[in-house]
Amino acid sequence: MTLLSLVLAAVAGLATVAGFAPYGLFPVPVVTVALLFALLGRRQSWRGGFAIGMAWGLGLFLGGVSWLFVALHRYGGMPVPMAATAVSLFCAYLALFPGVAGALWVALRRRRAVADALLAAGLWTLSEWLRGIVLTGFPWLALGYSQTPPSPLAPIAPLLGVYGIGFCLVLAGAALGLADWRSRAPLPALLLTLALAAGGWSLRTRPWTEPAGAPLSVSLVQTDIEQSLKWRADLQLQWLRVNLDLVREHPARLVVLPETTLPMLAAQLPPGYLATLTDAVGGHGGDLVFGVFLREADGAIHNAALATGASGHQRYAKNHLVPFGEYSPPMFGWFYDWANIPMSDQTPGGANQPPMAFDDQRIAINICYEDLFGAEIAAAAADATILLNMSNLAWYGDSLAQPQHLQIARMRALETGRPMLRATNTGMTAVVAHDGRVAGVLPAFERGALSARVQGRSGSTPYMRWRDRPALALALAALTASLLLGRRPAPVAAHDSAIQ
C-alpha cells in the first residue's frame, strides 16, 4: 500500500461531503463508498484496512466539520495552532470508527460479493451507531443524513431511521465497489442498487401519521445577534430590546425566540422584563417560548426554554449536553484554560420532560445539538404533535454547520412523521413538514421572523415504536449471514498494490 491509496481514500471521504447539505448531491456517497470498498478489497491485512478506512474518515470529517475551528478560534478565543490541533484530534477520533470498520472488514471478508457487501453494511451501521453513543455521541455526518428528499431512500426513515438508510446506502456502495467491472459481474450490484432505490421510493406515499387538532399559527424569530457581541455587558440591554421588539413586530398564536436568546441568567433580567414579554403576546391570547439560562437553588445551571402567555408558564431544560461546550468531561479541565466559552458548566435537565401544550397542539422541544439523537427525539415525539428545535449556530459563523443542521432536522421529521420547527439566532430558521420537505426558511444572517400555520400530527411511525433496534438487528443479521457463507480460497497473488 502506497501513499496514493491513502490519498485516494481521503479524497473520496472529502468528496462525500458533497452528498450532504447544502450541496445535496445524494448519489455521491454511494459512489465514494464504492471507491472506499474498491480500495479495501485490495488490502490483505487488517492494518491496511484500518489505514484506508481512517484516511477516508479523515477526509469526510476534516471537510465536513471544519466549522468547529470557527467556534474554538473566532469565538472561543483559542490560538490558531491550538484550535487547529483540537479540531484535527477530534476528527482523527471520529475517523477511528470507519478505520476500525475497514480493519474488521478486511479481517472477516468471505471473498464472495454478496457476503462481503453484507459484511460491509453490517459493520458500517454498527460503527456509526457506536459513534452516536460513545462519550455521549457525535452522530453528525452519519451517511443516512445525506438521503433526505428527493433521495429515493428518504422514505425508509419512518421504518429504519437514519442508520437503516445508511445500511442500505453502504450495501449498494460496497456491492458496486467490489464488483468486477471488466465482466458482466457488475449487473447484480446495479440491480441491487436499483432495487433498494425502488423499494424506498415505493414508500413515499405511505401515510404513517395523521393530522391532529387545529393548525397553530407560529412566528419563528431569528434575532441575528453576533456571537462575539452577545455577552458584552455594555450591549445586553440592547439585545433585550431587540428580542422584545421582534416579539411585538411578529404576533402569532405561538412566538418562538432562539436558544439562549436572552444573554444572561433569568434571575439577572431587569425587573419587569419578563412581564413585558408576557404582555407582548398575552394581549392577543398568544404564547411565547424563549431560550434563557436558569440557575437552580442548588447552583445547577440549565440551558432552558421557558414558555409564558395565555397557556401559563411551562419549561424545558436541555438534557443531552455538548461535551467541551456545555460541560467538561473528566480530566479535561485544561481545555478551558485555552477556550473562553460562556456558561460551559451546565447540568442536564433530565429525561422524560413533558411536551408544552398550546391549544390542541403538544410541542416537544429539543435544544440545538439534541436533535442529532433520533431515538431520543422519537421518544419525546410519542406524546407530542409538533417538534421544535431552538438553536444558536452563531458559534460556527457562515459555514456548513447551518445547512447540515437543517438536514438533520429534516431526518427527525421523517422518522417521526411530525413537523419540525426551527428557531435560530443566525440560521437556518425553518418549518420542516412531516415528510421532510422544507416548507419555509429564512435567509441566514438576517433579522426577522418566519410566519406559518403548522398542522400537528398524531400516530406512530415504526421508527417511533422501535427506534434504532430494527436497524441494529438488520446489521447483526447481515453480519451473521456473511459469516455463515463459505469462504473461497484467497487468490494466490494478492492485489494489495493494485491501486497505488
Closest CA to 387 of 351, 431, 352: 431
Q: Which of 278-292, 445-459, 474-488 has the lowest mean pLDDT?
A: 474-488
State how far the Cα of 178 lies from the Cα of 466, in Å rounded to an integer: 32
Residue 198 cell numbers, joined: 425502488
Region 419-425: mean pLDDT is: 98
pLDDT band at 327 (very low <50, low <70, confident <90, very high): low
- Go through the domains of the chain in sequence order and give each one's CATH number: 3-206+466-484 (no CATH), 211-460 (3.60.110.10)
Is 60 exceeded by the pLDDT of residue 329?
A: no
Region 281-299: mean pLDDT is: 92
Closest CA to 366 of 300, 404, 411, 319: 319
Bridge partner list, 211: 457
The one-letter code for the residue type at 461 is T
Identify whether the C-beta of residue 166 lies closer than 8 Å to the C-beta of residue 154: no
More confident residue, 124 or 326: 124
| Mean pLDDT of the chain, nearest integer | 92
State how far the Cα of 311 lies from the Cα of 497, in Å rounded to an integer: 68
376-395 pLDDT tens trace: 999 999 999 999 999 999 98
**Beta strands per DSSP E along 284-412:** 287-295, 301-309, 314-317, 356-358, 361-367, 386-391
Predicted confidence at residue 23, as pLDDT, reads 97
Identify whether the C-beta of residue 142 lies closer than 8 Å to the C-beta of residue 449: no
Q: What percent of the chain has pLDDT over 70?
A: 92
Region 155-163: mean pLDDT is: 98
> How many degrees, rounded to 5, is the angle at CA 393 between CA 124 and CA 245?
150
Region 63-76: mean pLDDT is: 89
Q: CB-based burial of residue 24 (10 Å sphere; 0-12 exposed, 13-18 middle, 19+ buried)?
A: middle
Crossing angle of the two packed helices 28-40 and 157-178, in degrees rounded to 10: 50
Predicted confidence at residue 500, as pLDDT, reads 34
More confident residue, 430 or 71: 430
- Those residues whose C-beta lies under 8 Å from the C-beta of residue 92, and which sit 6 or more positions away, are 54, 58
222-279 pLDDT tens trace: 999 999 899 899 999 999 999 999 999 999 999 999 999 999 999 999 999 999 999 9
Region 121-148: mean pLDDT is: 96
Three-class secondary structure of residue 448 per DSSP: strand
Identify whether the C-beta of residue 395 lies closer than 8 Å to the C-beta of residue 426: no
Closest CA to 435 of 210, 166, 164, 173: 210
Identify whether the C-beta of residue 211 lies closer than 8 Å to the C-beta of residue 455: yes
**Alpha-helical segments (H) within 202-235:** 227-230
State how far the Cα of 144 lies from the Cα of 166, in Å rounded to an integer: 4
Predicted confidence at residue 398, as pLDDT, reads 92
469-496 pLDDT tens trace: 999 999 999 999 998 885 554 444 444 4
Predicted confidence at residue 328, as pLDDT, reads 55
Region 344-368: mean pLDDT is: 92
Evaluate if pTM is beyond 0.85: yes
pLDDT band at 498 (very low <50, low <70, confident <90, very high): very low
List the catalytic residues: 259, 318, 368
Is the preceding peptide bond at 428 cis, omega within 30 degrees of 0? yes
pLDDT band at 15 (very low <50, low <70, confident <90, very high): very high
